[in-house]
Chains A and B, each alone.
Chain A
Amino acid sequence: MAIERIDPELCNGCGICVKICPMDVFRMDRKSKKAVITYPEDCMLCEFCVLDCPTNAITVTPEKSSPLLVSWG
């Protein structure tokens, strides 16, 4: 759904996706030294991460759903 996965086998920890995402979706995990999808709800499917990832580790799909509207949140 939107930003879906970073393949940990392919991610080389370059940090490009963290730097370029306009919506601040990613963080670098200090232990694994790889990028982690941290705020997937904010992905706007621009695919900059997919285009610039040097190892093609990132998957973005066209589906985006929004949460159910609840009384307060």
Chain B
Amino acid sequence: MPAAKVVETDVLIVGGGIAGLFAAIKAKEQGVVVTLVDKGYAGKSGQTPFAGSYSVFNPEWGDDLAAWVEQVSRVGQYVNNREWTEIAFKESYARYQDLVSWGVEFRKNEDGTLFRSESMLGPCRAAHMGAKVFAELMRKQAVKRGVKLMDRIMVTDLLKQDGRIVGVIGIPMESYDIYVFRVKATVLCSGAGGFKPWGWPISALTADGDAMAYRAGAEITGKEFADTHPTGAEHPAYLGFAKRMSGGPRRGKQLNAEGNEITGRGTLFLDMEFEAHAGRAPVYSQMPDGEKSVRIGGASSGMSVHKAEGIWPVDTSCATSLSGLYAAGDALGTMQMGAVYGAIGCALGGSSVTGTIAGVAAAGYAKQAEKLEIDDQEVSRIKKIVQAPAERKGGFSPRWVTQVLQNTMMPYFILYIKKEDRMRAALTITEFLRDHMAPKIFARDPHELRLALETKNMILNAEMRLRASLFRTESRGCHYREDYPRRDDANWLAWVLLQEENSEMKVFKQPVPQEWRPDLSQPYEQRYPWRLPGE
């Protein structure tokens, strides 16, 4: 086996979406050596290139922070982390100004002022970018400042020594080389994760950051709140995303098979899944001009609502519980939006803010930290695990194992309409995939090695989702259980955390601080005006 290629850097940014690009730019401005590594091409990765709504809060325009936070808290059903909700709004204007200074164009009103769309649910507003080239403009800014960009390298594992993350391992797309990044600080901006679902072009997002951090001992949160974006039934894998301009959401009326309108709650929710479960599919979207199209849920199957899933932050610098490891964007479980995504533009907005905070914090850490020698034995150990699929002569193909996982997890009645017995059934299969299948996945070339490692991370993501969902014995936001249809504020105003302990996935809860709880003297029906099936 050839020797590993060693890359030295002060700060390593993993992932080149909006969070990673902000992190790289802001870290570089602190005067440290910055490398950004992406599984594909930084500026065209993750969900970033498809997004265009951008949350901008500005008190000088009459925006009331308390009212904006109240909207998110109410719609998010009181499990949003209000510190992060506030930080994301307060810092959004400065990030918006960054983008403008880098040449990004936003939709304007006729009088030249910034156009911001309104929300049905409260005062939150969002700006909209024109053509979706902002990430490419950011890439140019990163290059201009001297960020070293390394594309087409999948980061697979973290190297931990004495409780500190001292390095990172990666594999390139076209050879069996191994890259060892020797680092002072790392920022995981690896995005959210799914099961390579149809509908959303997120097949490169396989929760790699969550998996790596989990294997290194970090806590993961938010896995029980399922993202409910739908897609078209005629061509479920195609949405023409990249070509569409952003102008705000286009929504028609939603009708069930009986021709009745489905109540919209003003935000993404499980309304379609309830109809399907009750036997009232197909669900149609009817535009004002009368055009009808069939809609299907699960476009982003395997993913959580924005800002829910991710590595648990231990403070507001985006630090994780592993020394030298930060996270940002959808890889960081800030719970900024709570259990339901209630204000558009907060995905890109939040990622910009946490990317900036993490980049600056990582640079600060790097400036005062010593770069440690990496233990060669540890590198050898991880290298062996990473390359094992390529060493096998036979076994199971990563594509087939992924297909089995998809068949197990994607039907709506596992992670959208949940029930203990079905989740336990899925967990039994998932554990079998983890213990029997995953070690026998074989790769015929470096591309399949990437697929093999992604499949293993997807199996872990599935296990996380099932265990977190089984643990939370209530319904809240986009976590709905038929067997526990009510919100249980007495026991579940809390976050669910997952952590590896003695090779087992430990599941525990962290209560939401008292000050952020809703008024429990208010009747339940007022705290939660929308009734869920079975309540």
Closest to B197 in A: A44
From residue 427 to 455 of chain B, which have CB atoms closer than 8 A to chain A?
A: 447, 450-451
B62 located at the interface, meaning its Cβ lies under 8 Å from any Cβ of chain A in the complex:
no
Nearest-Cβ distance from residue B154 to partner chain A, whole angstroms: 9
B274 located at the interface, meaning its Cβ lies under 8 Å from any Cβ of chain A in the complex:
no
Which residues of the partner chain B approach A67 to less than 8 Å between Cβ atoms? 399, 403
Nearest-Cβ distance from residue A54 to partner chain B, whole angstroms: 15
Known contacts: A20-B40, A48-B44. The answer to whether A64 contacts B403 by CB under 8 A is: no
Complex-state Cα separation, A69 to B399, whole angstroms: 11
B400 located at the interface, meaning its Cβ lies under 8 Å from any Cβ of chain A in the complex:
yes
Known contacts: A2-B237, A64-B198. The answer to whether A46 contacts B242 by CB under 8 A is: yes
Q: Which listed residue (A41, A47, A72) contacts B243, Cβ 8 A?
A: A47
Interface digits, B199-210 against A, CB 8 Å rule (1 contact, 0 not)?
A: 001111000000
From residue 118 to 157 of chain B, which have CB atoms closer than 8 A to chain A?
A: 151-152
Complex-state Cα separation, A69 to B410, whole angstroms: 14
Q: Which listed residue (B40, B44, B237) contacts A45, Cβ 8 A?
A: B237
Which residues of the partner chain A approach B399 to less than 8 Å between Cβ atoms? 41, 67, 73
Query: Is the beta-carbon distance between A23 and B40 smaller than 8 angstroms?
Result: yes
Which residues of the partner chain A approach B240 to less than 8 Å between Cβ atoms? 47
Q: Which listed residue (B173, B201, B235, B242) contacts A51, Cβ 8 A?
A: B242
Complex-state Cα separation, A64 to B450, whole angstroms: 22
Nearest-Cβ distance from residue A39 to partner chain B, whole angstroms: 6
Which residues of the partner chain B approach A22 to less than 8 Å between Cβ atoms? 39-41, 44-45, 201, 203-204
A66 located at the interface, meaning its Cβ lies under 8 Å from any Cβ of chain B in the complex:
yes
B396 located at the interface, meaning its Cβ lies under 8 Å from any Cβ of chain A in the complex:
yes
From residue 18 to 72 of chain A, which have CB atoms closer than 8 A to chain B?
A: 19-24, 27, 38-39, 41-42, 44-48, 51, 62-64, 66-67, 69-70, 72
Which residues of the partner chain B approach A21 to less than 8 Å between Cβ atoms? 40-41
Query: Is the beta-carbon distance between B203 and A44 smaller than 8 angstroms?
Result: yes
Query: Is the beta-carbon distance between B237 and A24 smaller than 8 angstroms?
Result: no
Nearest-Cβ distance from residue B300 to partner chain A, whole angstroms: 12
Interface digits, B65-88 against A, CB 8 Å rule (1 contact, 0 not)?
A: 000000000000000000000000
Which residues of the partner chain A approach B241 to less than 8 Å between Cβ atoms? 46-47
Closest to A39 in B: B447
Complex-state Cα separation, A42 to B202, whole angstroms: 11
Interface centre among B39, B45, B196, B447 (most CB of A within 10 A): B447
Query: Is the beta-carbon distance between B41 and A51 smaller than 8 angstroms?
Result: no
Query: Is the beta-carbon distance between B397 and A73 smaller than 8 angstroms?
Result: yes
Query: Is the beta-carbon distance between A69 and B407 smaller than 8 angstroms?
Result: yes
Which residues of the partner chain A approach B403 to less than 8 Å between Cβ atoms? 66-67, 69, 73
Could you tell me the dominant secondary structure of chain A's interface residues?
Answer: loop
Complex-state Cα separation, A19 to B396, whole angstroms: 29
Interface digits, B37-56 against A, CB 8 Å rule (1 contact, 0 not)?
A: 00111001100011000000
Which residues of the partner chain B approach A64 to less than 8 Å between Cβ atoms? 198, 235-238
Closest to A21 in B: B40
Closest to A45 in B: B238
Query: Is the beta-carbon distance between A46 and B396 smaller than 8 angstroms?
Result: no
Which residues of the partner chain B approach A70 to less than 8 Å between Cβ atoms? 400
Query: Is the beta-carbon distance between A72 and B41 smaller than 8 angstroms?
Result: no
Complex-state Cα separation, A37 to B243, whole angstroms: 22
Nearest-Cβ distance from residue A57 to partner chain B, whole angstroms: 17
B174 located at the interface, meaning its Cβ lies under 8 Å from any Cβ of chain A in the complex:
yes
From residue 200 to 224 of chain B, which have CB atoms closer than 8 A to chain A?
A: 201-204
Which residues of the partner chain A approach B40 to less than 8 Å between Cβ atoms? 20-24
Which residues of the partner chain B approach A44 to less than 8 Å between Cβ atoms? 196, 201-204, 237
Which residues of the partner chain B approach A62 to less than 8 Å between Cβ atoms? 235, 237-238
Query: Is the beta-carbon distance between A73 and B400 smaller than 8 angstroms?
Result: yes
Complex-state Cα separation, A21 to B45, whole angstroms: 9
Which residues of the partner chain B approach A27 to less than 8 Å between Cβ atoms? 174
Complex-state Cα separation, A56 to B60, whole angstroms: 46
Interface centre among A2, A48, A64, A69 (most CB of B within 10 A): A48
Nearest-Cβ distance from residue B208 to partner chain A, whole angstroms: 13
Complex-state Cα separation, A46 to B198, whole angstroms: 11
Nearest-Cβ distance from residue A19 to partner chain B, whole angstroms: 6
Closest to A52 in B: B44
Which residues of the partner chain B approach A48 to less than 8 Å between Cβ atoms? 44, 49, 242
Complex-state Cα separation, A27 to B241, whole angstroms: 24
Closest to A41 in B: B399
A binding-site residues for B, Cβ under 8 Å: 2, 19-24, 27, 38-39, 41-42, 44-48, 51, 62-64, 66-67, 69-70, 72-73
A20-B40, A67-B399 known; 16 other A-B pairs, CB under 8 Å? A22-B39, A22-B40, A22-B201, A23-B203, A24-B447, A24-B450, A44-B196, A44-B201, A45-B238, A48-B44, A63-B238, A64-B237, A64-B238, A67-B403, A72-B396, A73-B399
